[in-house]
A and B are shown apart, each in its own frame.
Chain A
Amino acid sequence: MSCKLVRRHLGALVDGELDPATQIEFERHLEACSACQEHLTFERAFRKQTRNSLAGPQAPEHLWGRALHRLDEIDEAKAQHASLIEIRPMRWKQTGLIAAAAAALLIIGGVLRLPDGDGYTSAGMLQDVLDVHTKALPSDVEAEAPQEVVRYFQGKTPFPVKPAQFEEPSMKFMGARYIMVGSRPAAALYYNHGGHRVTLLVFQSPELMQNARRTHVGGHELYYHDVGGNVVTIRQHGGVNYAFFGDLDRPVLFRLAANARVAD
């Protein structure tokens, strides 16, 4: 066995990751070779120094509390979800509207991790967007401070992000979150419209416009996709796409999207 081979795998030897037979051969070599022994001693010592030098620092004291606060939000969402599931069958017969409302409550701008590459068509993307409507990710920034939102996305997204303004007083901004859509950084802005969750996804995606249909609502140019009974409505402004989705009726969603002030 050569010194070269032994030295190349001294790290694995120290890590205890060589198979037993190889390890025995290595040890036999090391017994006879003082130069390799020296390398081994160094490897061990250096490992220890690396660990000591790079260990720590400790987490700041407030961090755990901050994390727990976010877990509280998840628990609340879970409890809400559970109650929704249990309530729905009882009221199903009383009013057909409840079903629509319940579905709308579950509409979420969730983890939008979509496939990359050439096969990344707008159809696939839209389906993925709608497919991930099952998970409610908590906001990174909260509703109280819209200017916090602007600051939060600075340096994260290559375009400025601020909560869109809506004329409808019933449209309430709930919070925002940074996510990736495919390989593109995006901002998910969460709104509530009379108990229905609406998500506004802000990102740069030429793919999104492929095969999109065009219409005009209230003097605004609007693009949209029909995906399995749902509609994704898109505004374009300054090279940025603003995709609105939620289980609202089509005319309501169109009107919201058309009247939204997405940028100054």
Chain B
Amino acid sequence: MRPRPRKIATERRLFETEARPHLDTLYSTALRLTRSPVDAEDLVQDTLVRAYRFYDRFEAGTNFKAWLLRIQMNAFVNRYRRSIRERQVFDGPMAAPVGEGVMSRATMRGLTDPVGDAQRQIIAREINRAFEQLSEDARAMVLLADVEELSYKEIAEVMGCPIGTVMSRLHRARKQLQVSLQQHAVQLGIIEADEDSEEDPVSLEAFRSRKAVKS
């Protein structure tokens, strides 16, 4: 008896239709994570192979892009195990707290309303440079939230962490990006050193529990 080529072919067609639109996303994310075009291609290929193998486990109606990114993140972590160590450092006691006052108002204004294309290009270049200095984990958070615009729930699934953790990790990653951007801008003399004092972060949970006591 012949195998069941029709069933395989149908599934294959469906998969291709669904996956193809996300190829650029997978590749650019992979490139940002691995920093190497060769590794990025390998990673994307691995991701698509794994996704195809486990295609029957994809829950229809959920975000296919997020599902692909989750597979890619797992493949990435498996391949580049040291990233886990890096993540532990990032999450552990060595992770420096990031305050709120990392940007002076002048800096914020400068970045909020760039004058002309030239300045926009400089900012874009500087953001890229600052991004490259982030840890793997921070890069992943920024990519998933700010570039791919996944929800916190989806990010939690991709990164394999609780939703509550997403908010703090993302906050830290964004602030690190801004700190790096600011420091370099100061070095270049684009902006002046920031005199604002850092404040201790306050958690939303603390605020909520205070509210609960009051009411």
Q: List 26 A-B contacts (CB under 8 A).
A: A4-B202, A12-B152, A15-B151, A17-B167, A22-B204, A46-B174, A47-B146, A50-B127, A50-B147, A50-B177, A57-B27, A58-B24, A63-B41, A63-B44, A67-B23, A67-B48, A71-B16, A71-B48, A75-B9, A79-B3, A79-B4, A83-B2, A86-B1, A135-B53, A138-B49, A183-B81
Contacting residue for B42 out of A64, A68, A80, A140, CB 8 A: A140
CB distance from B49 to the nearest CB of A (A): 5
Secondary structure of the B contact surface, majority rule: helix
CB within 8 Å: A-B pair count: 156
A117: interface (CB < 8 Å): no
Q: Nearest residue in B to A18 (C-beta to C-beta)?
A: B204
Is B202 within 8 A of A5, CB to CB? Answer: yes
Bound together, the chains give a CA A144 to CA B24 distance in angstroms of 30
Residues in chain A near residue B24, CB distance under 8 A: 56, 58-59
Residues in chain A near residue B31, CB distance under 8 A: 57
Of the four ranges (under 10, 10 to 19, 20 to 34, 35 or more), the interface on chain B belongs to 35 or more
Is B32 within 8 A of A54, CB to CB? Answer: yes
Is A68 within 8 A of B44, CB to CB? Answer: no
> Which of the candidate stretches A36-44, A121-129, A191-199 sits at the interface with the other chain?
A36-44
CB distance from B135 to the nearest CB of A (A): 16
Bound together, the chains give a CA A39 to CA B143 distance in angstroms of 22
> Which of the candidate stretches B57-65, B88-96, B100-108, B185-193 sits at the interface with the other chain?
B100-108
Is B111 within 8 A of A71, CB to CB? Answer: no
Is A79 within 8 A of B8, CB to CB? Answer: yes
Known: A46-B111, A79-B3, A82-B3. 5 other contacts (CB 8 A): A4-B201, A9-B204, A15-B152, A17-B167, A45-B113
Bound together, the chains give a CA A17 to CA B22 distance in angstroms of 24
The answer to whether A82 and B48 touch (CB under 8 A), given A38-B108, A46-B111, A59-B24, is no
Is A50 within 8 A of B41, CB to CB? Answer: no
Residues in chain A near residue B53, CB distance under 8 A: 74, 135
A32: interface (CB < 8 Å): no
Secondary structure of the A contact surface, majority rule: helix
The answer to whether A55 and B147 touch (CB under 8 A), given A8-B171, A42-B103, A79-B8, is yes
B67: interface (CB < 8 Å): no
CB distance from B157 to the nearest CB of A (A): 15
A94: interface (CB < 8 Å): no
Is B204 within 8 A of A17, CB to CB? Answer: no
CB distance from B46 to the nearest CB of A (A): 8
Is A180 within 8 A of B78, CB to CB? Answer: yes
Is B103 within 8 A of A4, CB to CB? Answer: no
Bound together, the chains give a CA A27 to CA B89 distance in angstroms of 36
Bound together, the chains give a CA A78 to CA B201 distance in angstroms of 54
Query: Binary interface profile of B, 169-208, with partner A (CB < 8 Å = 1, else 0)?
Result: 0110010011000000000000000000001111110011
Bound together, the chains give a CA A1 to CA B49 distance in angstroms of 50
